[in-house]
Amino acid sequence: MKPLVIGIAGGTGSGKTTLTRALVASFDEHVSVVYHDNYYKRRDDLNYDERALLNYDAPEAFDNELLIQHLDQLARGVSIECPVYDYADHNRSDETLTIDSQPIVIVEGILLFAEDEICARCDIKLFVDTDADVRILRRIKRDVLERGRSVESVESQYLSTVKPMHELYVEPSKRRADLIVPEGGGNLVALDMLVHRINRQLETAG
Ligand code: C5P
């Protein structure tokens, strides 16, 4: 049986990962999770300072060809060797992660719906919609605590690329979603409805 592919997109700090984790908790081990962030292009051609200045919020920053190939593999029931991205180094690490194909595949990332070929592979497209002020507050906290950044670097990156690219690519891609989920994983009504819908689809397919 072909897995059910759920795409979860939305701006940085919107709550995509919380929603993903809540769905994983609901479906136990029957979910493969693929993070688009792990498919940022390898940039060994640049030094650290040059990599730190790149625009990571435009579709060209990602190796979408590899992600599409991996989604197709999972759809055929074949495991993938997923790249692992190192945010502190702004580059792909040498590690890979084996992800087995499960009946539910969740693919998560800011710019998934900006790419036709990725949209075409998602059976259900969810867009997590959260106000920009809430998102930037979360982003500052996360990038400083977990991604080795200073408050100043988060501020300058936000103003130079994150915000303009959100407005140019992420926000318009919301139109391609099947469902808009305000506040992501904290939205228990939406989560409950999604779990029922996914269960029904799995039962029908099974
Ligand atoms: O988890 P989240 O959806 O926020 O991850 C996407 C964000 O990661 C992008 O907005 C991008 O600016 C950021 N990023 C970064 N440094 C990198 C790669 C991505 O700050 N080297």
> Domain containing 157: what range?
4-192
Is the confidence metric ipTM above 0.85 for this complex? yes
Looking at the domain assignment, is residue 206 inside a domain? no
Pocket test for ligand 1, best of 110, 142, 143, 159 (most atoms within 8 A of CB): 110
3-state secondary structure of 148: coil
Cα gap 61→84, rounded to integer Å: 15
Looking at the domain assignment, is residue 202 inside a domain? no
What was the pLDDT predicted at 206? Answer: 64
Closest protein CA for atom 1 of ligand 1: 12
∠ CA 22-183-189, nearest 5°, is 60
Looking at the domain assignment, is residue 19 inside a domain? yes
Cα gap 119→200, rounded to integer Å: 22
Looking at the domain assignment, is residue 203 inside a domain? no
Looking at the domain assignment, is residue 43 inside a domain? yes
What tokens appear for 191 in the block? 């989560």
Residue ranges of the chain with per-residue pLDDT less than 50: none
Q: How many domains does the chain have?
A: 1
Contacts 24+ apart (CB under 8 A), 154-163: 161/55, 161/56, 161/57, 161/58, 162/12, 162/57, 163/132
Beta-carbon neighbour count of residue 83 at 10 Å? 22
Beta-carbon neighbour count of residue 44 at 10 Å? 8
User: 205 Cβ partners below 8 Å, 6+ apart?
Assistant: 1, 2, 4
What was the pLDDT predicted at 204? Answer: 79
Q: Which atom of ligand 1 is nearest to the CA of 108?
A: 3
Looking at the domain assignment, is residue 204 inside a domain? no
Q: Which atom of ligand 1 is nearest to the CA of 52?
A: 21
What was the pLDDT predicted at 6? Answer: 97
∠ CA 40-32-10, nearest 5°, is 50
Does 37 contact ligand 1 (Cβ within 6 A)?
Answer: yes
3-state secondary structure of 86: strand
Pocket test for ligand 1, best of 20, 34, 37, 169 (most atoms within 8 A of CB): 37
What tokens appear for 26 in the block? 């609901």
Q: What is the dihedral of CA 41, 46, 52, 56, to 10 degrees?
A: -20
What would the pLDDT profile of 69-106 be if each residue is shown by its tens digit? 999 999 999 999 999 999 999 999 999 999 999 999 99
Looking at the domain assignment, is residue 123 inside a domain? yes
Q: What is the dihedral of CA 202, 117, 179, 81, to 10 degrees?
A: 60
Query: CATH number for the domain including 59?
Result: 3.40.50.300
Looking at the domain assignment, is residue 200 inside a domain? no
User: 33 Cβ partners below 8 Å, 6+ apart?
Assistant: 20, 24, 99, 105, 106, 107, 108
